[in-house]
Structure 1
């Protein structure tokens, strides 16, 4: 299987004008009949990730003549950008910082490293620097660290080793420069270790990142020729001890605006799988390794409202799951094939800002240089929404075309970001708060609507009711109706010891006299699992093989409640002993499908005459294409494997199937045989 080449990284349309034709209007999102009122729940007891000081990022590229200019730096600063990436995607693997050259590519004047840093400082953003792996050396990278942090005192903290280096031809597709004879993940990992050691010998305080692939995206799960595991597995196993973060990219693709807007639903499972891979393969203290997402964009509606809606939803979803920085590709890129999306001209430009260029015969031109496109305005809303020190909290919607995100501010206020993905119909949204009392009065609302020139801010609606225009983003800031001085501090992060049906949850002790309440997250509402004056709680009646996320809050003797603890996610096990044992394996993966093998062993004392194995896919984007050695049927997400054979005591039946997936491939964990839950191994 091959990945479609993301050519945007290698040739800037800022410099190469493309022929453009105006296409018929897009059909847009297919909207279902809207409910009379959309319900959104916000639960401050469901604490998610905190917002750090580099959360909102964008990409700069050395072929962009506007890189570092005061006008661009100020536009990015106004949007709340706190991290900028340099020198630009795949150019990083041909770029040599010392003489500011990129053999085989174009380097615009006044785009050198010092110019970039001047622009970053004017923006108020930290740099994310990509060291040249493809055609560079560890010594070159170490010299760059020395120049940046010793000679110039820039304090550049974050450094990634290369860009999309799995695209070097090892898996078939080749777009990334790589002069190494061995293009395997093993070779990349060995150089990551060497780069990290050389760079940290110059400045031990820097953070070094390695390139991984996003779960559910090519070449995730593919095992290349001669490899012992997938790219992620090999890199983490061999270089995990030498890195501080991993860097992934995500382009959801699709042929219509709805495709990318729907795929933000993949984010929670994709980040969960990536964290699992880090935990499983990166060795001791793997939980220190963080995740950055330094490129994302859409295929349809890049400059119009679909791109804006996707940006707001994707940034918020990724940050809520603990990704520490998210970056749009990119600041400027240039004119592509022009079309009309939801009544607005889309220039098919990956940039946040217009490049001001025209097609070859000057029949189609972009707006003047640096005119903000729709995603820029979405970025500015995200910059206002998620600021350093805020914490994401649970938010959920009962409407598939309305996304909701929420943060608790340091002063106790709540900000809610509402995204209406319906291009045709408005929504009346009922807002319900849990663990939070909203102040009376009309809240301030900042909104960006389809075709608008910018964000409009005005008092609107109420804390409990808002009207969303079609294809719009609204940021509602709700003041706390009750603030309590001297409330307890948030408990520390919990830990859990689990069995198939129980979990013992524990947390660090706080001051004396506190009562602790444990909540299980469920979107925008939480279920209280129990309370105690101790520092642990055992919860029963859990489902085997199920993922749970919990928080702890503290309450003092006066009834004052703390913020939620950091979240803990755990998965219950399966019975330690059962009448059956199941082993489920992905034995040959090609990126959107795989050959699966299932071994079913009977532990019963008597023969089993005919059997049915049942399991449920964890997501709606997984399915069975075909199966053998038994009869395979799927209804909804439930799969039944039926055989009229006999399973003798201790005997194993092996069956197989072809599975498909179009998102993160979370494998099923729970199986039952003739109604009995099996032990999974």
Structure 2
């Protein structure tokens, strides 16, 4: 996220509940590198096929537990952090409990305006380990040098043996301005990448980190963003490991305020077009299927709070629960919400924001995607198989009204008693009485809610 040149952000950018009974995890004393088993392969494997759009073949909500749809990437539960985003001591236990999987640093244009020092990097690595998150470092591109970028890799991965896997080069280069164009960008990105890989060939390079991306662009600014993406893919598609962009759907212009409730309710559907479009573009211009990352994302690029749809609102949290589910369903490799704290954040200095509860809900989700569909415009279902053999479903109701919807589950031994976790305006991701599920059941969904069902293994 860039905080400078606000006039250039006309298309850009594009939560408080109490935290009760929180188990306090002990802080890790030293930032030791994680075990190899905890890390993804150094170069993420190409996708064999493009992810198909989910076909709606049944009335209501439908889950086919016998139809696996691919793995759930462990890196979709990430966020952004930087020297300008201080997590106070009293909120660190909440961050530890959120199941954050990636901590992108320095999380915005700070990294292209400043050189990172050893003390800040050590503190960041220790905090990431404390939170149980994988570090992800963005090195300076604007006014930086390949040699300085390579030295940061050497410091963290050779000298200190931190084993930082994920790296990117520059943040939102299309906003650098002052004549910085695609030719200069793709040339410099390659110079930086080759210098960094020469120090540690195992690192995963993520790019191009443009500030927005659209499916089927038609307006001039949308086409310009695609031009940056295409130029990067054609020049560096052989060297990049993961293709990335940022996405903030609102406000639609610098003069527009927060979205209406109706606009926000319908905005999450865009991911079912956006991710397949990005994949098709990557395939067209690189001849490869590369993983997709959304490394900054929230509903708005403009800081706002205290409203019905601002980023600290309950509805924004429900929007995020649905948007994240759609990205998972479409096989996205990495997702980094913006940001861990502040007006955009999962929390503030004294409490968690509503969006924090989305991570408590997905903490119980599975590791294997299953086919699921909904014929309801504002009700979604996401299905997964957990490592313990249980079925985990997340149902999101974006509507302002309570909904009664049929749920059909095929390929699973039913009836069974499902564990229930509820997040709505009155329940902050808290357990509810067990629910009896049959092959065909009726669900009662509260307004603007997320419901997690964990069904016993057969």
**Bucket of the pairwise TM-score, normalised by the shorter protein:** 0.7 to 0.9
Superposed, 1:590-669 pairs within 5 Å as none
Shift of 1:73: 4.1
Distance 1:72 1:187 in 2: 42
Q: Give the structure 2 partner of residue 459 of structure 1.
A: 433
Instruction: Give yes or no for the alignment of 1:275 onto 2:279.
Output: yes
- Paired residue for 2:149, among 125, 128, 141? 141
Distance 1:49 1:441 in 2: 25
Q: Give the structure 1 partner of residue 419 of structure 2.
A: 444
Q: Give the structure 1 partner of residue 49 of structure 2.
A: none
Superposed, 1:315-354 pairs within 5 Å as 315-333=324-342, 349-354=343-348
Shift of 1:186: 2.0
Instruction: Give yes or no for the alignment of 1:214 onto 2:220.
Output: no
Is the contact made by 1:257 and 1:301 (CA closer than 8 Å) also made in structure 2? no
Is the contact made by 2:370 and 2:384 (CA closer than 8 Å) also made in structure 1? yes
Distance 1:163 1:261 in 2: 29
Q: Give the structure 2 partner of residue 156 of structure 1.
A: 164
Task: Assess, with a 3 A threshold, how the Cα gap between structure 1 residues 7 and 480 changes in structure 2: closer, same or farther.
Answer: closer
Partner-residue secondary structure (3-state), 2:387: coil
- Paired residue for 2:409, among 427, 433, 443? 433
Distance 1:7 1:139 in 2: 32
Shift of 1:251: 0.9
Distance 1:243 1:220 in 2: 25
C-alpha RMSD of matched pairs (Å): 2.4
Task: Assess, with a 3 A threshold, how the Cα gap between structure 1 residues 152 and 415 changes in structure 2: closer, same or farther.
Answer: same
Q: Which is strand-richer, 1 or 2?
A: 1
1:508-546 per-position Cα deviation (integer Å, ceiling 9, x unaligned): xxxxxxxxxxxxxxxxxxxxxxxxxxxxxxxxxxxxxxx
Is the contact made by 1:186 and 1:238 (CA closer than 8 Å) also made in structure 2? no
Distance 1:352 1:80 in 2: 12
After TM superposition, which residue ranges in structure 1, 4 or more long, deviate above 6 angstroms? 217-220
Partner-residue secondary structure (3-state), 1:222: helix
Task: Assess, with a 3 A threshold, how the Cα gap between structure 1 residues 271 and 6 changes in structure 2: closer, same or farther.
Answer: closer
Instruction: Give yes or no for the alignment of 1:131 onto 2:139.
Output: yes
TM-score by length of 2: 0.79
Higher mean displacement: 215-224 or 300-309:
215-224
Distance 1:96 1:219 in 2: 34
Q: Give the structure 1 partner of residue 261 of structure 2.
A: 257
Q: Which is helix-richer, 1 or 2?
A: 2
- Paired residue for 1:198, among 173, 195, 198? 195
Distance 1:222 1:426 in 2: 40
Matched residue pairs, number?
Answer: 386
Shift of 1:49: 3.5
- Paired residue for 1:422, among 390, 393, 399? 399
Is the contact made by 2:398 and 2:447 (CA closer than 8 Å) also made in structure 1? yes
Q: Give the structure 2 partner of residue 119 of structure 1.
A: 127
Q: Which ranges in structure 2 are unaligned for 5 or more consecutive residues? A: 1-6, 15-58, 252-258, 301-308
Distance 2:189 2:70 in 1: 28
Q: Give the structure 1 partner of residue 60 of structure 2.
A: 39
Distance 2:382 2:220 in 1: 30
Larger Rg: 1
Q: Give the structure 1 partner of residue 86 of structure 2.
A: 65
Partner-residue secondary structure (3-state), 2:381: strand
1:27-63 per-position Cα deviation (integer Å, ceiling 9, x unaligned): xxxxxxxxxxx82101234433312332210111211
Q: Which ranges in structure 1 are unaligned for 5 or more consecutive residues? A: 9-37, 101-111, 170-180, 334-348, 356-368, 482-681
1:92-119 per-position Cα deviation (integer Å, ceiling 9, x unaligned): 211211377xxxxxxxxxxx11111111
TM-score by length of 1: 0.54
1:595-654 per-position Cα deviation (integer Å, ceiling 9, x unaligned): xxxxxxxxxxxxxxxxxxxxxxxxxxxxxxxxxxxxxxxxxxxxxxxxxxxxxxxxxxxx
Partner-residue secondary structure (3-state), 2:457: coil
Shift of 1:215: 2.7
The structure, 1 or 2, with the larger RCO (C-alpha pairs under 8 Å, 6+ apart) is 2
Is the contact made by 1:442 and 1:459 (CA closer than 8 Å) also made in structure 2? no
Instruction: Give yes or no for the alignment of 1:398 onto 2:402.
Output: no
